[in-house]
Amino acid sequence: MTPRLKPERTWNIFRPARRDRERAGGAQFLGATLRRFGPSWQAAPARRLIQACCLLLYCDLFFRVSWPYAALLSGQVVALKEWFPVELFLWLDPLVGLSTAVAARWWNVALIGTGVILGIGVIFPRAFCGYVCPLGTLIDVFDFLVGKRIRPLGALKTTGWSNIRFYLLAGVLAAALGGVLLSGFVAAIPVLTRGLLFSAGNVQLGLVKNWGMVPPLAAATWLSLALFITVFLLGLLARRFWCRFVCPSGALLSLPGLLRLNTRQVSSDRCIECGKCIEACSFDAIQPDFGTRALNCTFCQTCGGVCPTEAISFVLVSAKAPTTRPGARTGQPVNRRVMLGSVASGVISAFAVRSATAAQRRPIRPPGSVAEDQFLDLCVRCEQCLKVCPGPVLQAAGLEYGFEALWTPVAVFPHAGCHQNCNLCTEVCPTGAIAPLSLARKRKTVMGIASIDPKICLPHRGERECQLCFDECNAAGYRAIEMRPIHLATGSVPEGALSPEEIEQMGRIRAPFVKSDACVGCGLCEYRCHSVWVARQKLLSRSAVIVKPPANAPA
């Protein structure tokens, strides 16, 4: 019998030793159970368990902790970060922190997550992809349920694809250098959070609250859902297709692998070249000669679990045995021309997008948002603020504010007003595009300014008495609208038909006026006017009071 590797020098901790797995009794029952889930569960159950826990944690943060209606009930908002920051996984996506810092040319809090996860990446290369990433885990679930049954191109020659993610990463970072943030469109966790918001998040809102609250399915929704579905459908071509070939976050996570402290090693003495490891690997990390493609390997250890001769181990680079299969970085060397091309296209798209955005009208951003230019550089379109917004007031922009603003949060006041007791969106932004505000400060933060159109407003036209906006503003405590008497044009009235009081009152009415120094642009007035007079009574074609972006805000 060949001697086993000394345990203190290996990282084979995530899978039971073959001897243990074959032991009779409870362990055998456990083995049988794991086998039903599939070979990867049997080979590396601890990894699957960690994946499941991370996915559960992500779902808990997304569906339960980010559910704003319970928090609002207490009358004052409960801090969302009590247990775990809801933006935890967004921080852990290294591309989020790095690209926003480059685009905005300033530090932000997400960089801490980037540093931590890249640091871990030096110890366990790409372990985030194999163990933590909830998008990867969901793709595994899709593969378990659908992909492995109907994979049409199972024998796809994939080596040619393997560097797309590096080209994408280079393009995204080049665009960020040019001052345009594209990472939000393709980074793993923002893609997941956004896709979930528009699918499961809307279903949650519709089922738990009511379907009238679900924002209309507009271009932004369809585009995001299409991308989200594509990410999974790619799994029909090959397992973890997105993670292996496309995901630029994964590409960034591969890079610390160049300095890796630990590595997969295959003992030439033991390997019988059965090919089970190649079959088991989701990440195309094993070469035909059973050596390791180091930048693909996620340290999931499944190959070690399926190896019948225990030829595969995960060891410190310094402790590597002399007789091992040689490795490579990836399936194919990075093509220098393509790489330069993607850098150039990143820079060019940055300039194109910049100049196209300059003339666009400005949207109304959440309270505490940084200046619009910087906002576009910091917002990763994760839609976490949309998820925690009650109403929801915040909805994803389509293409109406230009391509650069696609999927960024915009306050849509005909749908709901920004509640006076809520500052949730300011608490959850992973990159600081929306600065954290206390409730007291949020109530003084100007999002926009209400403006009443006297050509539409019922009292201003003398059509009808109404003070919905005034009542609404007072109830919220802003007191930014006052009712002032105005004179109405009258003419002759037949003698004796009406009382003198009535004739006198015909000539005046109290109409609403905005006090611009007190208005924060919360939109409660606009929502009320729209809801009553436009949507229900159908007396007006649009709300008489409309919140516009603040005039003095930096462009």
Binding site for another protein (CB under 8 A): 69, 72-73, 75, 209-210, 212-213, 390-391, 416, 419-421, 458-459, 462-465, 472, 475, 488-491, 493-500, 502-503, 505-507, 509, 527-528, 530-532, 534-536
> Measured between alpha carbons, how far is 367 from 374 in angstroms, rounded to an integer?
15
Minimal distance, residue 212 CB to another protein, in Å: 4
Half-sphere exposure of 477 (CA within 13 A, CB side): 9
Minimal distance, residue 388 CB to another protein, in Å: 13
**CB nearer another protein, residue 73 or residue 203:** 73
* Own/partner pairs, 198-201, CB within 8 angstroms, 24+ separation: 198/224, 198/225, 198/228, 198/383, 198/396, 199/225, 199/228, 200/63, 201/62, 201/63, 201/387
Minimal distance, residue 153 CB to another protein, in Å: 46
Minimal distance, residue 448 CB to another protein, in Å: 19
**CB nearer another protein, residue 274 or residue 506:** 506
> Measured between alpha carbons, how far is 227 from 383 in angstroms, rounded to an integer?
15
**CB nearer another protein, residue 260 or residue 419:** 419
CA-to-CA dists, residue 125 to 119, 170, 246, 300, angstroms:
9, 20, 18, 10
Rounded to 5 degrees, φ, ψ at 313 are: -140, 160
**CB nearer another protein, residue 322 or residue 500:** 500
Minimal distance, residue 541 CB to another protein, in Å: 14
Minimal distance, residue 413 CB to another protein, in Å: 12
Minimal distance, residue 453 CB to another protein, in Å: 17
The 10 Å CB-count burial string (b at 16+, else e) for 507-519 is eebebbebeeeeb
**CB nearer another protein, residue 269 or residue 502:** 502
**CB nearer another protein, residue 318 or residue 492:** 492
Minimal distance, residue 503 CB to another protein, in Å: 8
Q: What 3-state DSSP class applies to 324?
A: strand
> Measured between alpha carbons, how far is 230 from 142 in angstroms, rounded to an integer?
12
Q: Which helix (H) or strand (E) holds 205?
A: helix 202-208
Per-residue HEC secondary structure of 79-98 comes to: CCCCCCCCCHHHHHCHHHHH
Minimal distance, residue 244 CB to another protein, in Å: 43
Ranges assigned E (strand) in 238-391: 262-266, 312-316
Minimal distance, residue 77 CB to another protein, in Å: 12
**CB nearer another protein, residue 427 or residue 472:** 472
Helix, strand, coil percentages, rounded to 5, for the chain: 50, 10, 40
Widest pairwise Cα distance in the chain: 120
Q: Angle 134-142/45-59 helices, nearest 10 degrees? A: 110
Query: 303: closest CA among 316, 317, 287, 323?
Result: 287
Chain position carrying tokens 């006076």? 420
Tell me if the bond preceding 392 is cis, omega within 30° of 0. yes
**CB nearer another protein, residue 72 or residue 274:** 72
> Measured between alpha carbons, how far is 51 from 133 in angstroms, rounded to an integer?
8
Minimal distance, residue 477 CB to another protein, in Å: 10
**CB nearer another protein, residue 26 or residue 75:** 75
Rounded to 5 degrees, φ, ψ at 166 are: -70, -40
Q: Are 237 and 156 in contact (CB under 8 A)?
A: yes
**CB nearer another protein, residue 72 or residue 328:** 72
Q: Are 226 and 409 in contact (CB under 8 A)?
A: no
Query: 392: closest CA among 425, 362, 368?
Result: 425
Minimal distance, residue 76 CB to another protein, in Å: 10
**CB nearer another protein, residue 213 or residue 321:** 213
> Measured between alpha carbons, how far is 146 from 278 in angstroms, rounded to an integer?
21
**CB nearer another protein, residue 496 or residue 554:** 496
